[in-house]
A and B are shown apart, each in its own frame.
Chain A
Amino acid sequence: DAKTTQPTSMDCAEGRAANLPCNHSTISGNEYVYWYRQIHSQGPQYIIHGLKNNETNEMASLIITEDRKSSTLILPHATLRDTAVYYCIVRVGSRLTFGEGTQLTVNP
């Protein structure tokens, strides 16, 4: 399975953009990159996913490098409610394999 590497923790000021990096250097050509977040002890919440093109939805933007070995999740205007653990996942078949994620703390 393709593995992902994320920083353990990051801080961001409220109202600023939060840029969360992820390395997935062993990703295969047909594997998607997914981002989820988990707020406190709730079930993970889907944010966005992509294959090779940049993607944007109402929650975030996903920038994938041309070689697909890394990606960045962008929360354009972080709020206190965005404080959560963010997981970058490479989907293999029908399974999601979670790493330990990045704890994002948005500060007032």
Chain B
Amino acid sequence: GENVEQHPSTLSVQEGDSAVIKCTYSDSASNYFPWYKQELGKGPQLIIDIRSNVGEKKDQRIAVTLNKTAKHFSLHITETQPEDSAVYFCAASRAEYGNKLVFGAGTILRVKS
């Protein structure tokens, strides 16, 4: 089955700096890769996703890149703010719609002001 590895497990950055979180996956048939943000005491919230037919997607300060050959994808957050502090999870799915997601172990991001 699919296995998703995520690095680093914790990341501390200064406010205004960029943060990068990387994930690798094992199943070459996976074709949907979302990122979730989880704040304390809440459920994860989808922040951005990418499908296998594109290599990069951007939404304001966040961007995701996908390298299908190498089976890895990354989340980039620019101009970090204290409210970006949270746990971030990557995930992968075999089917674009209506299939279970396999999640990475998460990255604790701390933005220091």
Partners in one complex: no
Interface residues of A (CB under 8 A from B): none
